[in-house]
Amino acid sequence: MAVTSEPRAQEGGAAPRHRSATRSLLRLWPYVRPVRVRLFGAAGVAVVASCLGLVIPLVLKWMVDGPVAHRDPGGVWLGGALLLALGTAEAGLFGLRRWLVGRPLASVEAAMRADLYRHLQRLPVSFHDRWASGQLLSRATTDLMLLRMFLAFPLTFLVVNGVTILAGFAILLSQEWTLGLVLVVPAVPLVILCSLFETRYATVARTVQDQTGDLTTVVEEGVLGVRIVKGFGRHRSQARAFRALSQQVRSTELHKARLLATLWALIMTLPELAIGAALVLGTMRVADGDLSAGTLVAFLSTALTLRWPVESLGFLLAMSQDAATATDRYFDVMDAEPAAAADRHRPAQSPGRGEEGWSRTGGQDREGGLRFEGVEFAYADAPPQEPPVLRGVDLHIRPGETMALVGATGSGKTTLTALVPRLQEITHGRITLDGRDITALPREELRALVAVAFEEPTLFSATAGENVLMGATDAGQEELLRALKVAQADFVHALPEGTGTEVGEQGLSLSGGQRQRLALARAVVGSPRFLVLDDPLSALDVHTEALVEAALRQVLAATTALVVAHRPSTVLLADRVALLSEGRITAVGTHQRLLRESAEYRSLMSGQEREEGESGP
């Protein structure tokens, strides 16, 4: 779970400069294309329904100037029946429109959410280190819901209302152009208002959606860390922090509501004033005999029919801006370069220390195993003056050998192990597996060759067996039982449903040692050729650790392994030991040899032995 937000330069609390809502929304086309027939059909049906509403004033004009003026009851009944038919047809067509867009737009939302999740799985770990999980969750839920709502309603009615307004004003001008001009005049200030509103509203919309993402992060962290919150009595301070962030969201939402209310008030006021002026002028012309009563009734009915299309522009534009912001936020993630694409664009690396030997052997590593050659690593967002985390690491783990990696806290042990399965990408140098550069291996093949287990085990909301079998796609029940035995995770069989027992989110229904043993079982279930273990036994008691180590020796004998070790007992599992100090390998040898020759190693091991002695019985 990430705890830091994406940098504001990318995530932002404001809309990007020179941003175009139309250009943003056009990026949805690849998802809309498969359902375009039904979506365009729905828009066409809505246009027809709306235009039927414009026919009603023409029927009223005919009735007033014809049957009503000539006292013809039959004509009045005919006109009434025609009006009823038009109204029924209009309602039916709008219902058909909703039916047409319902299912396909749900499919669009599902496809976008699936693509987002798939893309998140392909993005490098460095991306997830920078982004808060709540920001990603809000994009996968709230933002996609906004987009579905936009495609279902505002998008259609921006088109429908635009066509209706144009057709309606054409009818008004054809009926009585002088009165029509009175209604056209407010269009100029309305266009200016909408343009100003778009810019200001876009900024506020982006801010509130980003703040909602931050709020989601706080909720998620509070739920996952509830034991820490309760254990330290921090529930009140957490509640205050949540309340403060909620107030920020509320304040921004109110600001957004004020902007929309102001625009809507102006959009409603100007047409109403224009209709009032047209009514006064029209009445005077009817009194003077220059205009028929039916024409005035039809004119005013048409103008009133256009009130909704005009007045709805405010919230339709607001929803369009919300959707454009949601689209930008969605593609903020989708535009992030996945690891495979980064490989294609990776510049050729200059040879690092140890690579000359590679050239002399004609491009083949005759010794095989796992080799680090001049490896350097620095975080992408690290200050330029800060030294790399790893500097010129040269290390060779021979085939079938187990190498223990020892070092003080902060020396770079975990970072070095993360480079092997390419959870992080090296800045310089090369890592090879049996002579093959890991950057030249497809990630699927690399992850099949290398299995990992971390000090902080991660379990999923699945059964215990499913969590273990995630380590090998082709493993079966026999491999599962063997892995559980190696990891001394036989406690699983005592669970209510055995290996089919749900372990809950993050495996919190299990103890730390139980979670760590399941994670170790997941690492060994596929009998990997290369095994990378980052202090996988730290949460085990001494007795259980001894049992696990005894079983693990058999697994390590058949694989090439790199094991981060803090305890002398774990070090003794290895054939050789590498000492990592300030980002460099400073000594390599057997445990006994390093005890004799390295003061730093003796200091590390004596500290561990003393701690174990003090914690013993």
CATH of the domain at 448: 3.40.50.300
Whether 224 has a pLDDT exceeding 80, the answer reads no
Kindly give, in sequence order, each residue whose CB lies less than 8 Å from that of residue 418, ignoring residues fewer than 6 positions away.
125, 424
Indicate whether 429 and 560 sit together in one domain: yes
Joined tokens for residue 15: 């809309």
**What secondary structure, in 3-state letters, does 351-362 show?**
CCCCHHHHHHCC
Cα gap 76→81, rounded to integer Å: 9
| pLDDT tens digits along 70-125 | 777 777 788 788 878 878 887 887 787 777 776 787 888 889 999 999 998 888 87
pLDDT tens across 536-558, in order? 777 677 777 777 777 788 788 88
pTM of the model: 0.68
pLDDT band at residue 16 under the 50/70/90 scheme: very low
State whether 233 and 300 are in the same domain: yes
Beta partners for 576? 403
User: What is the pLDDT at residue 615?
Assistant: 45
Q: CB-side exposure of 176: number of CA atoms within 13 Å?
A: 25
d(CA 479, CA 405): 28
pLDDT value at residue 19: 60
**Separation CA 331–CA 241 (nearest Å):** 30
pLDDT at residue 169, as a whole number: 81
Taking the C-alpha atoms of residue 583 and residue 523, their distance in angstroms, rounded to an integer, is 26
Domain that holds residue 396: 367-615
Measured torsion, CA atoms of residues 538, 543, 548, 554, in degrees rounded to the nearest 10: 130
In this model, does residue 393 exceed pLDDT 50? yes
Q: Reply yes or no on whether the pLDDT at 352 is more than 60.
A: no
How many domains is the chain built from? 2
226 has a pLDDT exceeding 90: no
Question: Tens digit of pLDDT for each residue in 572-601?
Answer: 888 999 999 988 999 999 999 999 898 888
- Beta-bridge partners for 372: 395, 431
Are 415 and 298 members of one domain?
no
pLDDT band at 611 (very low <50, low <70, confident <90, very high): very low
Provide mean pLDDT across the span 309-327. 82
More confident residue, 481 or 73: 481
Which position has the higher pLDDT, 344 or 212?
212
Tell me what the mean pLDDT of segment 560-574 comes to: 85
- Provide the CATH number for the domain around residue 160: 1.20.1560.10
Asked whether residue 134 falls in the same domain as residue 265, the answer is yes
pLDDT in the model for residue 339: 59
**Is residue 574 one of the residues assigned to a domain?**
yes
Do residue 270 and residue 123 come from a single domain?
yes
- Domain identity same for 269 and 394: no
